[in-house]
Amino acid sequence: MPIVYIDDKEVHLQQHERLNGIQAAARAGVQIPYYCWHPGLSVVASCRMCLVECGKRDPQTGQISMLPKLVPACQTPATDGTVFLTNSDRVREARAMVEEDLLLRHPIDCPICDKAGECRLQDYHFLHGRGQRRADIKPFTSRKRSLGPTITLFVDRCIMCSRCVRFCREIAGTSELMVVNRGAHEEIDVFPGFPLSNKLAGNVVDLCPVGALADKDFLYRQRVWYLKSHPHVCAGCSTGCSIYVDQNQDRIWRLRPRENPHVNQWWMCDEGRYGWKYVHDPNRITAPCRRQEGQLKCIDWDTVWADLETQLPSVGGWTAVLSPFQTVEEAYLLAELVRSVDPDATIAVGPIPSQGRDERFPNGFTIRAEKCPNRIGVQTLAGQLQGELLSWEELKSRWKSQPPEGGLWIAGGYPASPWQSDDVEVARRARLLVVQELFPSALGAVADYRLPAAAFVEREGSYVNVHHRLQVFQWAIRPPRGVYHDGHIYWKLLGRPGLYRSAPVLQEVAERFLAFAAAKGEIPDVGVDLRIVQLAEPAETVMTSINSA
């Protein structure tokens, strides 16, 4: 087993692991500073911030021979017997010199720079820089130019790490960005007439270690230290990227990708990144409504609870239409709700919004045509509950021939209304129609009860992406006043004690259904593959879960 020596610590690597000095040092709990290196991009070793002393230990004699010069840790493979000195005087001096050089022409406008607070240059200067400025120039302003519809470049803030350039070449594959000029005049730029407009462009802002690349959507809006980050899952398409929702006082300000090697690696697309705007749309439904004398009238929630408690059992013949925007837990509770009043209730899955075709980028990142986060989750659940999967189209054709007798509960959360006119015609034949939706639609207009739905950032639970990976998350912001998320509504109507929490419900689902057995216990941040259980679990566990189901 290869052993790498970091300062006075030993790091044992796996036999075929290929790590560089930075990664090996991180294993030992030593942080080597770096700007240009990124685990998802090629190595250029241009910033020289990760310079360390490096040597080789002879396995026979135990003697260490050091290299005379400092080497960049990002470019040095950590092989058996490699020795890295990360905190010697020479290394510290080298870091201070790099910092001093970078700050020669970097404007010291931190108070008005949007990156301040999450800026590598700022952090490393405090950790590794000199206390005093020796240069006699004190730049304060930066030139600024637009690189594309969403990105602004602050030219003088750039430290030429070239991460953004490499990203456009290697990940997006569109190569819009380039380095122009030479030496001290180097700048990032685009070719005239070819703006930075690919669908992954927003990632360059996250990649930029300083405040050079800024998102026009976020620029000047908030200081980063006001934002609270919540791990979440993007609901833009069925890829289900791991994201952070950055919010302040229940208002989203930006979404950022969260590293997840199984789903999105380090990236997310602009569609998802800017796809949260509807959450704060003033047209959202924020009060429950009841049909009275042919008109929808807003009522308070106490009336809703009392009404539905009496009406749900009396109507009978229920059908629940699960929404692919619901979490697994919410969908399960809705199914439980209708099954509790009608044990033979039909469970169907609502329309699956789709747009265009799958878009695949050179590194494998894919934007799916299926614009909903949890189709697999609700379909699996519906299939397990019913034995066969009933899609919205099938349900509709069934009802066209034989009009529904009982109640119909249609769950929502669709950012754009998916309902056709014939959907509305079919649905209004139900004896009692309950519709949950974000925005007023033709379907909601014919409902007996129209309840406000929650947006994805307000939900808690788990989504199952297109590769059957289940990821759990908590709510990031509270819904607008007057809106309850689905979990709360079903929990209340089911008469279960206490408040809705998603984790115990998921455990219940995992206990009951074999397809969700992998979700048992603690779920890691990167999620679990639901298919894994059938292969990896010992036979007895599988048998018990079959029996209990």
Minimum CB distance to another protein smaller for 109 or for 187: 109
Tell me, residue by residue from 134 to 153, as one string, x for binding to another protein by CB under 8 A and - for no binding: -------xx-x---------
Could you give the CA distance from residue 48 to residue 282 in angstroms, rounded to a whole number? 49
User: What is the closest distance, in whole angstroms, from the C-beta atom of residue 282 to another protein in the complex?
Assistant: 18
Taking CB under 8 A as the criterion, which residues in 491-510 touch another protein?
Answer: none
Tell me, residue by residue from 166 to 205, as one string, x for binding to another protein by CB under 8 A and - for no binding: ----------------------------------------
> How far, in whole angstroms, is CA 120 from its chain's centroid?
23
Could you give the CA distance from residue 279 to residue 187 in angstroms, rounded to a whole number? 38
Tell me, residue by residue from 7 to 46, as one string, x for binding to another protein by CB under 8 A and - for no binding: ----------------------------------------
HEC states along 131-163?
CCCCCCCCCCCCCEEECCCCEEEEHHHCCCCCH
Minimum CB distance to another protein smaller for 194 or for 225: 225
Site for another protein (CB under 8 A): how many residues?
15
Could you give the CA distance from residue 321 to residue 272 in angstroms, rounded to a whole number? 25
Question: Is there a contact between 440 and 283 (Cβ–Cβ < 8 Å)?
Answer: yes
Minimum CB distance to another protein smaller for 18 or for 130: 130
User: What is the closest distance, in whole angstroms, from the C-beta atom of residue 431 to another protein in the complex?
Assistant: 51
Taking CB under 8 A as the criterion, which residues in 78-117 touch another protein?
Answer: 109, 111-112
Minimum CB distance to another protein smaller for 111 or for 193: 111
H/E segment holding residue 528: strand 528-529
User: What is the closest distance, in whole angstroms, from the C-beta atom of residue 280 to another protein in the complex?
Assistant: 15
R_g (Cα) of the chain, nearest Å: 28
User: What is the closest distance, in whole angstroms, from the C-beta atom of residue 223 to another protein in the complex?
Assistant: 5
Minimum CB distance to another protein smaller for 107 or for 350: 107
Could you give the CA distance from residue 496 to residue 485 in angstroms, rounded to a whole number? 16
> How far, in whole angstroms, is CA 234 from its chain's centroid?
4
Please choose, out of 123-131, 433-441, 464-472, 478-486, the segment that lies near another protein by the rule CB under 8 A: 123-131
Could you give the CA distance from residue 429 to residue 276 in angstroms, rounded to a whole number? 34
Pick the binder of another protein from 59, 67, 126, 548 (CB under 8 A): 126
Q: Strands 449-452 and 289-292, how do they pair?
A: antiparallel
Could you give the CA distance from residue 157 to residue 146 in angstroms, rounded to a whole number? 14
Taking CB under 8 A as the criterion, which residues in 206-265 touch another protein?
Answer: 219-221, 223, 225-226
Q: Where are the alpha helices (DSSP H) in 115-250?
A: 120-128, 163-170, 203-207
Minimum CB distance to another protein smaller for 142 or for 379: 142
Q: Which of 402, 389, 293, 409 is nearest to 349 (CA)?
A: 389
Please choose, out of 9-17, 126-134, 358-366, 509-517, the segment that lies near another protein by the rule CB under 8 A: 126-134
Minimum CB distance to another protein smaller for 141 or for 286: 141
Please choose, out of 125-133, 379-387, 401-409, 435-443, the segment that lies near another protein by the rule CB under 8 A: 125-133
Minimum CB distance to another protein smaller for 42 or for 141: 141
Minimum CB distance to another protein smaller for 142 or for 162: 142
Quote the Cα angle for 128-225-107, to 5°. Answer: 50
Minimum CB distance to another protein smaller for 87 or for 391: 87
HEC states along 43-74?
CCCCCCCCEEEEEEECCCCCCEEECCCCEEHH
User: What is the closest distance, in whole angstroms, from the C-beta atom of residue 247 to another protein in the complex?
Assistant: 17
Could you give the CA distance from residue 277 to residue 282 in angstroms, rounded to a whole number? 10
Q: Which residues bind another protein (CB under 8 A)?
A: 109, 111-112, 126-127, 131, 141-142, 144, 219-221, 223, 225-226
